[in-house]
Every structure is written in C-alpha cells, then in structure tokens.
Amino acid sequence: MKILKHPVGTEKAIRLLDQNNLVFMVDRRAKKPEIKSAIEKMFDVKIEVVRTVITTKGKKKAYIKLKPDFLAVDIATSLGLL
C-alpha cells in the first residue's frame, strides 16, 4: 500500500503553509501513525499532529502540522508547489 499519493496544491492548501501545514491525498486505509511515519521519513521532519478527512468524492486527505523547527514552505518548494 502506497500511503502518500500526492500533495494538494489548491489555494486553501497553499494558504495553510503559513500555519506550517501540509496537505496530502493519502490512501483511504492509511492510519494517522502510518501517515506521520511516512512524512517524517520522506522529508526528514518532525510532525506535531495529523488530521484526516474523507472528501465528498470518497478520498482521504491528510492535514499535517509540522513542529515549529521545520518549515512547510521549504517542503512545498521542494515539491514544486510554490
């Protein structure tokens, strides 16, 4: 199972970067600890909290808040979102 599918680049997701949040589409079966572990390993960051929501289209979206020591803007830039 591939936990992380792709980053979300919507206007809202870009605005959340100011609050040190990243938004990713994830596998529907993925649990919060699995999402946290995948992000921490992939980007070498520490995560404060992971919140998930099931969209109206039946997909799962994860809102990832990074610890203050790490900047979401840097990750978004490396992913080509900015």
Assess whether pLDDT exceeds 90 at residue 58: yes
Q: What is the pLDDT of residues 15-46, one digit of tens each?
A: 999 999 999 999 999 999 999 999 999 999 99
CATH assignment of the domain containing 20: 3.30.70.330
Residue 81's pLDDT is: 87
Mean pLDDT of 44-64: 96
Domain extent, residue 68, equals 4-78
Mean pLDDT of 55-76: 95
Assess whether pLDDT exceeds 90 at residue 1: no
Tell me the CA distances in angstroms from 44 to 32, 40, 56, 57, one per residue in order.
Answer: 17, 5, 31, 31
CB-side neighbour CA atoms (13 Å) of 19: 13
User: Smallest Cα–Cα separation from 46: which of 23, 66, 71?
Assistant: 66
If one counts the domains in the chain, the total is 1
